[in-house]
A and B are shown apart, each in its own frame.
Chain A
Amino acid sequence: QLQLQESGPRLVKPSETLSLTCAISVGSINTNDYRWVWIRQPPGMGLEWIGNIYSSGTTYYNPSLKSRVTISVDTSKNQFSLKVSSVTAADTAVYYCATRRGGSSRFDYWGQGTLVTVSS
């Protein structure tokens, strides 16, 4: 059973870059069985798929965020990361890392989520 944990700064200034890491404490990121996913949820609002990455490094992004988002994987550290550039208050949200089984809509493992606030 995979275990995921998000980490990173909880407060980011407007126009700067938000950076988060998802550590996989049980299981390996170096597998073709899973896709590694970032999802966010603004306070009081719904879920938004940000993007995902394969262990090979192939990425897919939400078109509405694509110009500002980068997802990367570090197999040596068994973790994957999210960067969102030029943030505004609209990027304030709980950010979740999660997994999706390949060839499926099975988003079955989620981190606990971390609230990132964009404010000066």
Chain B
Amino acid sequence: QSALTQPASVSGSPGQSITISCTGTSSDVGGYNYVSWHQQHPGKAPKLLIYDVSNRPSGVSNRFSGSKSGNTASLTISGVQAEDEADYYCNSYTSSDTWVFGGGTKLTVL
């Protein structure tokens, strides 16, 4: 199975909105509403931000939102803050009863 495709890096100034894309195929992202997003700060375990495309666990800021169109899922961070500087990973269920991650996107807050 191939990793989902994410941009290697994105950047934004504080207060701006940024969007990270996650492109797969009809056998993973496009075929199921089982896409999640995780945030990872250096040296830390990943933290769940979004599950099932657009659901936010309790305690996660509503500045984080998820969506999907066709084979591409997206994570939007509204009003980027310095503390949002981290790596972000998407994840999807696949038709093979397995799960696949994206390659990760490094967010730099300018």
User: Considering the complex, which residues of chain A in the window 73-120 have a beta carbon less than 8 Å from any beta carbon of chain B?
Assistant: 96, 104-108, 110-113
Determine the interface band of chain B, counting residues with CB < 8 A from chain A.
20 to 34
Per DSSP, chain B at the interface is strand
Query: Given A96-B45, A108-B48, A113-B45, is A60 in contact with B97 using a C-beta cutoff of 8 Å?
Result: yes
Determine the interface band of chain A, counting residues with CB < 8 A from chain B.
20 to 34
Query: Given A46-B102, A62-B1, is A107 in contact with B97 using a C-beta cutoff of 8 Å?
Result: no
Contact call B1/A104, Cβ cutoff below 8 A: no
Contact call B99/A46, Cβ cutoff below 8 A: no
Contact call A61/B98, Cβ cutoff below 8 A: yes
Contact call A107/B48, Cβ cutoff below 8 A: yes
Contact call A106/B36, Cβ cutoff below 8 A: yes
Interface residue B52 (Cβ < 8 Å from any Cβ of A): yes
- Identify B91's interface contact among A49, A60, A64, A113, CB under 8 A: A49
Which residues does chain B contribute within 8 Å of A48, judged by CB atoms? 101
A-to-B contact residues, CB < 8 Å: 39, 46-49, 51-52, 60-64, 96, 104-108, 110-113
B-to-A contact residues, CB < 8 Å: 1, 3, 34-36, 38, 45-48, 51-52, 55, 57, 89, 91-93, 96-104
